[in-house]
Chains A and B, each alone.
Chain A
Amino acid sequence: MAQRTATRPPAEARAPRGGLLHGAAARTVGLWLLLALTVTVCALSIAVGTRSIGLGTVWHALLDASTPGDETVIVRQLRVPRTLLGLLAGLSLGVAGALMQGHTRNPLGDPGLLGVTAGASFAVVLSIWLFGVSTASGYIWSAFAGALLGSVAVYLIGSSGRGGATPVSLALAGSSLSFLLYALVQAITIRETTALDAFRFWVVGALAGRDADVVVQIAPFVVLGLVLAMVNTPALNLLGLGEDVARGLGTRIWLARGTGLLAITLLTGAATAGCGPIAFVGLVVPHVARALTGPDHRWLVPYSGLIGVVLLLLADVLGRVVARPGELQVGIVLAVVGAPFFIVLVRRRKLATL
């Protein structure tokens, strides 16, 4: 390694390293390849399903709404919104996971830890029980509000103890509040069978059965969250060296933490509102991304987003194929695929300290 450095021009010696892809050039190429992969998976998601549709037919249906045939309707009204929703949710969860792990400096940080998922679940059950809402599109605002309120509550609880809001106190407050909210969810669903009947289909986490409106409704929040996430990346790199060093290098800690938390909440909240709770994407994806890019968040965050899309859409396609003519919800597929990956991660020689 030392010899290589000696012969390398200084400009390249400065490029961040640590992952499989060395140097900014390799990472840029990698990002383009990943983008191409994302587009491919999107195409797959539009073409494959209970009824497989040839790519040519897909193309025509996309270009011209008046193309005759059922395929056009399926593509334009079912598959495209579903794929777009998967795209937004995958981006959101992947990026939120990378931010969460960066802020907690914990390789097992999951965006769901901040009370977002539990808050959304509770709000959805309440809206079913009190207002009789019963469609996936109908839950979206209550789920989003619940997600926001849940994370605000976690933040208030987590910052009320000694030492203020540290990532650890937030994670602990998040898991405890989640326990409480799930207990209330349980209490309501036991009393109200109708609430259970609707809730059980929401809580598995799925892309199916959502119309295009859902995509339009969550998109602004995803975009805002992504912008905040990118703004947050340089500060996140410094926070990785510890809060003291980060301050010494001129980071305003509260601003960096606040931006990150807001981004995580918006992204996870939007994804949960759109699809229901989806586990493991936020946990697993950043590790794959880190293996490629190393610990530089300016690369890690976009990579995580794209890998999140690929993983989520592939899992969704898999769920449509394995259980024909029915389908397995994407949340289930991801848990079954994600858990073994997670275990491999834990069994590695040592866990990454972030």
Chain B
Amino acid sequence: MTAVAPTRAPAARPHPRRTLRIGGFSTTYRRRQVAVPLLALLVLVLAAAVSLGRGDYPIGVLDVLRVLVGAGDDTQRFIVLELRAPRIAVAVLVGVALGVSGALIQTFARNPLASPDILGVTGGAAIGAVAVIVLGGTTTAGELLGGLGLPTAALAGGLLMALLVFGLAWRQGLDGYRLVLIGIGLSAMAQAVVRYLLTRSTIQDAAVANVWITGSLNGRGWDQALPLAVALLVLLPVSLALGRVLGALQFGDDTARGLGVRVPLAQAVTVVVAVALAAVAVSAAGPIAFVALVVPQIAVRLTGGARPPLLAAGLLGALLLVASDLVARTVLPDSFPVGVVTAVVGAPYLLWLLVRGRRRSTL
């Protein structure tokens, strides 16, 4: 680890860039870009540990540890390993996926208010899921949908809608602004369709659908966690590899091209990865609000870079979701969906961002 040889007077810079060289590998980093993810990881582990013990049936820290190493009584084992651990795993995985997805989209669109919602993922997934809930069993089409299963229908709806947004926005390349606008238009349409479906259903089905739309971890288990984990194993390495290219894309298409980036390809890969991450997250837990929107902005403020850091955004997303779930399970009554907690925390934060620093309107 050596400091870059200064060509001029080594004036104090706010975030000195450091270099790491191991054999043929070399990279530069800033101290906070390493410290923030490490700290986030630490707090995440702590929060998860607390969450394992808390709930309708509190279990002491020592007992939780005992269960984790293979001991403990059957009730505790069931609650920790079969109920809480998978649910927390889903929260972590969904949080990571949404955080990284949001960071990718915001960097791509050069807009701090962009999120996967506006790529149509959420709207499409909501149509798929609500259609299964509302129409399942009542019509032939509904039976077909029902046979598909809710998560699959949501995943398919999200991906199809994103494909539609993507296809309509493509005109000899992808313009971030156009993509966002078309996403907004189609999302508004999707919302109308969902609202229509809600008026056509029984009130019981509508209530179930309403919870799904809010985003919830209730009843989620290993069935959701495993597919999510597999998807993330593929998508996360691709996202992190995109990091370098994203830095160049941020300058605008022409500059990026000048820096030697194949712009259309880089854009396409970025958007596809972001959409896939959001779609698997939404199909597992429903469209949990604000995580993808707010977490990248928190991450960029903590690390002090020029764009949302992917790793930190992922870890902070997981942290936000695990903490919100803990609040939803232990503080709020009636197993309130976690989406309400993230929205009620996230919306004021967004307002505060606006009131405080109007200057940072462009990432």
Asked whether the complex places CB atoms of A and B closer than 8 A, the reply is yes
| Residue in B198, B211, B354 whose beta carbon sits within 8 Å of that of A176 in the complex | B354
Q: Are B358 and A169 in contact (CB under 8 A)?
A: yes
For residue A181, give the distance in angstroms from its CB to the closest CB of chain B: 8
| Residue in B181, B199, B207 whose beta carbon sits within 8 Å of that of A204 in the complex | B199
Q: Are A197 and B171 in contact (CB under 8 A)?
A: no
| Residue in A183, A193, A280, A347 whose beta carbon sits within 8 Å of that of B343 in the complex | A183
Q: Are B186 and A180 in contact (CB under 8 A)?
A: no
Q: Is the interface of B mostly helix, strand, loop or mixed?
A: helix
For residue B334, give the distance in angstroms from its CB to the closest CB of chain A: 7
Q: Which residues of B contact A186 (CB under 8 A)?
A: 210, 213-214, 339-340, 343
0/1 per residue, B201-227, Cβ < 8 Å to A? Answer: 001001100110110000000000000
Task: Report how far A113 CA is from B5 CA in the complex, Å.
Answer: 51
**B interface residues, how many (CB within 8 angstroms):** 45
Q: Are B206 and A200 in contact (CB under 8 A)?
A: yes
Q: Is the interface of A mostly helix, strand, loop or mixed?
A: helix
Whether A173 is near chain B, meaning CB under 8 Å from some CB there, is: yes
Q: Are B358 and A163 in contact (CB under 8 A)?
A: yes
For residue B363, give the distance in angstroms from its CB to the closest CB of chain A: 14
Whether A149 is near chain B, meaning CB under 8 Å from some CB there, is: no
Q: Which residues of B contact A191 (CB under 8 A)?
A: 334, 336
For residue A330, give the distance in angstroms from its CB to the closest CB of chain B: 11
For residue A179, give the distance in angstroms from its CB to the closest CB of chain B: 5
Q: Which residues of B contact A168 (CB under 8 A)?
A: 361
Q: Are A176 and B350 in contact (CB under 8 A)?
A: yes
0/1 per residue, B276-292, Cβ < 8 Å to A? Answer: 00000000000001100
Q: Which of A173-219 contact B (CB under 8 A)?
A: 173, 175-177, 179-180, 182-184, 186-187, 189-191, 193, 196-197, 200-201, 203-204
Q: Which residues of B contact A157 (CB under 8 A)?
A: 351, 354-355
Closest to B204 in A: A193
For residue B264, give the distance in angstroms from its CB to the closest CB of chain A: 17
Q: Are A179 and B195 in contact (CB under 8 A)?
A: no
Q: Are B359 and A279 in contact (CB under 8 A)?
A: no
Task: Report how far A279 CA is from B187 CA in the complex, Å.
Answer: 12
Q: Are A343 and B168 in contact (CB under 8 A)?
A: yes
Whether B81 is near chain A, meaning CB under 8 Å from some CB there, is: no
- Given A179-B343, A200-B195, the answer on whether A335 and B189 have CB atoms closer than 8 Å is yes
Q: Are A335 and B188 in contact (CB under 8 A)?
A: yes
Q: Are B192 and A279 in contact (CB under 8 A)?
A: yes
Whether A265 is near chain B, meaning CB under 8 Å from some CB there, is: no
A-B contact sample (5 more), CB < 8 A, given A335-B192, A336-B193: A187-B336, A193-B203, A203-B195, A343-B185, A347-B171
Q: Which 3 A-B pairs have the closest CB atoms?
A: A183-B343, A335-B192, A180-B347
User: Can you list 14 A-B pairs with a CB-CB distance of less than 8 A?
Assistant: A157-B354, A168-B361, A173-B351, A176-B351, A180-B347, A190-B211, A190-B337, A204-B195, A204-B196, A332-B195, A335-B192, A335-B193, A346-B182, A347-B169
Q: Which residues of A contact B (CB under 8 A)?
A: 108, 157, 160-163, 168-169, 172-173, 175-177, 179-180, 182-184, 186-187, 189-191, 193, 196-197, 200-201, 203-204, 279-280, 328-329, 331-332, 334-336, 338-339, 342-343, 346-347
